[in-house]
Amino acid sequence: MKRKIVVVIFILAAFVTSASGQKYKVNAQNTALNQVLIGLRDKYNFHLSFNDNALAQYQVSVSGSFDTPEELFGALLKSIPFNYRKRGNVFLILPEEKKPGAPKAFSLSGQVLEAITHEPLPYSNVLINDQGLATDLKGSFRYISSTDSIFHIRISHLGHYILDTICVPGNNYRFILTPSSIGLKEIVVANKVVEKATQIGDAPGVMRLNHQIVQFLPGNDDNSVFNLLRLQPGVLAAGEQSNGLIIWGSYEGNSQVLFDGFTLWGLKNFNDNISAVNPLVVKDVQVLKGGYDARYGERVGGIINIAGKNGSTYKPGLNLALNNVTANGMLEVPLSKKSSILLAFRQTYYNLYNTDDVVYTGTTTAPTGGQGMEPVGGQGQNSINVNIRPDYTFHDANIRFSTRSDGGDLFYVSLLGGEDQFKYTLNQANTQLDISKSTQEDNRQLGGAIYYGKNWNKGNTSSMTIEYSSLDNNVRSDYQNRFGKGRGLASWSNSNTDNQVSQFSFKNTNRFAVSKQHTMETGFGLIADQVKLVNDTTQINLSSQKADLQRLNFYAQDHIALPGNIQLKGGFRFDLPFEQQKLFIQPRISASIPVNQSVKFNAAWGIFNQFISKSTVIDALGNYQYLWFGSDGTDVPVLKATHYVSGWSLHGKSFLASLEGYYKNIEGLTQFRTDPETGVQTHIHGKGRSYGIDLFLKKDFHGHSIWLSYSLGKAEEKFLTTEYQRAPQDQRHELKLAGIIHLKPFYLSANYIYGSGFPLYTDPTDPGSYTEPDYQRTDVSVTYRFSSSKIRGELAFSILNLFNNYNIKYSSFETVPLDDTSTLKINTESVPFSPRLSVRLAL
């Protein structure tokens, strides 16, 4: 036994002697230091961190054998202004520190750019020495430290490879991120990680969307932004509201879509064909569902903040997107190494739908005989359901000039104009009825912004924006009903609604890094809103308004960054309407607290005001219209909402989970109602509330992505009732499933959406007088990528509503009386079974 112990001791001693006797050899003659270190890393499995570009400038000549890694690195760095530090098992190769004579602050400022086009990357995530911050619209940031003179930086942006590097203090750094795809061409960067997941849970109520994946989703190319939005938690998909977005149970008009700083009021966008923003010009999409900070105002719901592309400065580019509905093109022309102009245009080929394509549906319970239309029963009132597929035409254009300076300043002029027309004519007769009805809606939208963003010497930033946007909406409707054998005129009506809204503003923003922990953000603005409304029927003026509203606003908030990437924000927003001479104070607070490297807790609270909004106009038949009104403080009060938001998120290497809850109440709601007996219109005031939870799960694997989104919510309102009743946009459940499978060169994608339905009231004053049809839709697509030396492209085929489920669009139906016992219900049909063939080319 003793002999065995002695043998084991000798074996262990020999092993230790062998291990301790390992030599580290190097033989370098006038070789770049970065190449020497890479060779040693691969040979001896060293863990190294260094600035590759900085060390490439130094040539070293070292030969020999060394007993320890410390001796080896000491010899390599002996004659150059670098040294090493060891943290754990990682060797950091750092520039020599010059000890200051007196304590001072170390600052770092820079700009995050895309590698190919050098487009600034707005709202990128920057982690410096475990403290987080975000870039501004120009991709700029600044960081101050009183202790650290070496900065470990990790920068990520959706759809781009993560940059991990080390820097010394300095200003005007340029950090270049490589996109995971360039136009329609894929690239692969070895040993790099791509930030490709949807960013949910980094801040309370905030989502960042990877717009690069929208081309693989089913649907029309011209509506790809909303195709992605509708699959996210908290954004209503059932009802197919592409432009009047409903977020977290908010009312139509309570949420805002911003493009390059100006408001997109929204076009008709029939059947998900075209969204208000051209997807070819989109660079970044940020969704603020609620509880957002003091920089944002003007709405009590959510905000979709879309940043447009600057345009290529290195070579001309042409992108074309053609499908069986529209043609879309974008041209980028460099004017210099720092300036470019971008042009984009969309146009429908023809009227999308035939006015003669009218479908009559319904379950007949009290047939009257005859051909064509049949009344359907319903509690003493027969109704004839008519589904309309109207004519729809559209075109719009974008123009943008951009230029930037060597210091990162950005100047651009962005212009947008678009218009559409929606109309149908219904002529139908049977043995008893002869109905004639025509409706036409015209929309014209204009917008523009002039922006200048300045990076100051020490990395602080300021910007100013002058913007203008407007929408002119006109709806005309004529109706005649001839009844009986003599075909006498039983009833007739005509109505006209002209609603115009515009906004002009000047806004200033500033961001100053005060210390390592504190960044102050301030801003002010002058806003002028104008609303014009004429709403009449059968030559009777039901409602009208002409409002010119001006106000000043100011905000200030402190962004506190604590160790461990804890983010706190607290601030105020102030609005002073000139007409009301009342100061509206809106405090906001939020916190993001990482529990560990994967789990984060978020919470936010705030008060929000809105000074122009859509109010509900209900006619004598119970038909709803949502029209823009200016808040004068009396007939139409200023909306006031309070948001409570909290949630948890789990971020893994290829998995994301988020659970977020919200509660919002709103005061100052206005309804205009016409009495069915007297025909007199009155206005009433009410309040509402919405609350619920969002669940989001996403998994990335082997180039594929699947995700699930589930929303449980409730939206209620109280006008003439003593208790809350369901609001028109209330929906209890919404489930969304989506996936993208990459089988190179093919992409397969599918999504499914289920909504439990909205309350369709027959009597707005009766909480129980509604039906609740559910919503179901399945979309599928296949995309093929191809490329040659001169052209790259994609060929895509989609089917929308694969199983042709019958769905009703939110707020898109009319009720027309036929006689004392029958009514005509006209529904604008949602997306039917719709094949879509698309070709996308990049030259």
**463, 380: one domain:** yes
Domain with 89 in it: what CATH number?
3.55.50.30
pLDDT interval class at 823 (50, 70, 90) = low
Per-residue model confidence (pLDDT) at position 225: 75
Q: How confident is the model over 8-22, as a mean pLDDT?
A: 46
Residue 529 included in any domain:
yes
pLDDT exceeds 60 at position 270: no
Whether 91 and 111 map to the same domain: the answer is no
Instruction: Tell me the DSSP string of 514-528.
Output: -SSSEEEEEEEEEEE
**Which has the closest alpha carbon to 264: 225, 311, 214?**
225
- Helix 69-76 and helix 33-44, axial crossing angle in degrees, nearest 10: 170
Whether residue 151 contacts residue 129, with contact meaning beta carbons closer than 8 Å, is answered with yes
**Paired sense of beta strands 775-787 and 770-771, if any:** unpaired
In 373-469, alpha helices (H): none
Do 301 and 360 fall within a single domain? yes
Give the separation between CA 385 and CA 201, rounded to whole angstroms.
44
In contact, 397 and 416? CB cutoff 8 Å: yes
- How far is 433 from 172, CA to CA, in rounded Å? 76
Q: Give the domain extent around 40.
A: 20-95
Q: Lowest mean pLDDT: which of 161-175, 182-196, 496-510, 516-530?
A: 182-196
Final residue belonging to a domain, choices 95, 114, 147: 95
Q: What is the pLDDT of residues 389-411, one digit of tens each?
A: 667 788 899 999 999 888 888 99
pLDDT at 310 over 70: yes
Band of the pLDDT at 361, cuts 50, 70, 90?
very low
| Nearest C-alpha neighbor of 711 from the set 690, 688, 687, 740 | 690
Instruction: Clarify whether residues 674 and 747 are in a common domain.
Output: yes
Nearest CA to 254 among 843, 689, 796, 723? 689
Identify whether residues 270 and 142 lie together within a single domain: no
Whether residue 4 lies inside any domain: the answer is no
- Residue ending a domain, choose from 95, 124, 139: 95
Percent of the chain surpassing pLDDT 90 = 30
Task: Provide the pLDDT for residue 181.
Answer: 59
Whole-number pLDDT of residue 711: 96
- The dihedral region occupied by 401, where left means phi > 0, alpha psi between -120 and 50, and beta the remainder, is beta
CA–CA separation, 617 and 30 (whole Å)? 81
Q: What is the pLDDT of residue 359?
A: 43
Same domain, 608 and 660: yes
pLDDT at residue 645 is higher than 70: yes
- Which of residues 1 and 86 earns the better pLDDT score? 86
Q: How many CB atoms lie within 10 A of CB 665?
A: 16
Q: Cα 441 to chain center, whole Å?
A: 27
| Alpha-helix runs per DSSP H in 536-671 | none
The number of angstroms, rounded, from the C-alpha of 32 to the middle of its chain's C-alpha atoms is 46
Say whether both 185 and 270 belong to one domain: no
Model confidence at 387, in pLDDT bands (50, 70, 90)? low
**782 in the same domain as 702:** yes
287 has a pLDDT exceeding 70: yes
Q: Are residues 493 and 473 in the same domain?
A: yes
In sequence order, which residues have a C-beta less than 8 Å from that of residue 9 and are 6 or more positions away?
none
List the one residue out of 616, 619, 623, 625 whose CA is nearest residue 473: 625
The strand pair at 808-817 and 282-288 is best described as unpaired
Say yes or no: 228 and 181 in one domain.
no
pTM of the entire predicted model: 0.77
pLDDT at 770 over 70: no
Please write the tens of the pLDDT for every residue from 209-235: 877 777 778 876 666 677 788 889 999
Whether residues 354 and 468 fall in one domain:
yes
Please give the Cα distance from 203 to 256 (Å, whole number).
19
pLDDT bracket for residue 133 (50, 70, 90): confident
Task: Please provide the average confidence, as pLDDT, over all residues in the chain.
Answer: 80
Q: Are residues 127 and 258 in the same domain?
A: no
Among 49, 67, 95, give the residue marking a domain's end: 95
| Domain presence at residue 100 | no
User: How does pLDDT run across 141-186, given as a tens digit for each residue?
Assistant: 878 776 777 888 888 887 788 888 888 787 778 888 887 654 444 4
pLDDT at residue 489, as a whole number: 60
User: Where residue 522 sits, what CATH number does that domain have?
Assistant: 2.40.170.20
Per-residue model confidence (pLDDT) at position 828: 60
Q: Distances from the Cα of 508 to the Cαs of 298, 451, 463, 712, in angstroms?
A: 15, 10, 6, 38
**Using an 8 Å Cβ cutoff, are 672 and 615 in contact?**
yes
For residue 697, is it within any domain?
Answer: yes
Residue 373 lies in a domain: yes
Asked whether the beta carbons of 243 and 225 are under 8 A apart, the reply is no
Give me the pLDDT at residue 430, please. 62
Q: What is the pLDDT of residue 769?
A: 62
Question: pLDDT digit string (tens) for 426-466?
Answer: 776 665 667 777 888 888 999 999 999 998 877 788 999 99
In the structure encoding, which two tokens stand for residue 682, read together? 């009155």
Residue 101 lies in a domain: no
* Sequence-distant (≥ 6) Cβ neighbours of residue 522 within 8 angstroms: 509, 510, 512, 554, 555, 556, 557
3-class DSSP state of 662: strand
Question: Is 766 within the bounds of a domain?
Answer: yes
**Residue 311 pLDDT greater than 80, yes or no:** yes
Tell which residue, 494, 399, 412, has the closest CA to residue 447: 399
In a domain, 15, yes or no: no
- Confirm if 218 and 800 have CB atoms less than 8 A apart: yes
Contacts of 381 (CB under 8 A, 6+ apart): 821, 822, 823
Q: Domains in the chain: how many in total?
A: 3
Calculate what percentage of the chain has a pLDDT beyond 70: 81
CATH code (residue 138): 2.60.40.1120
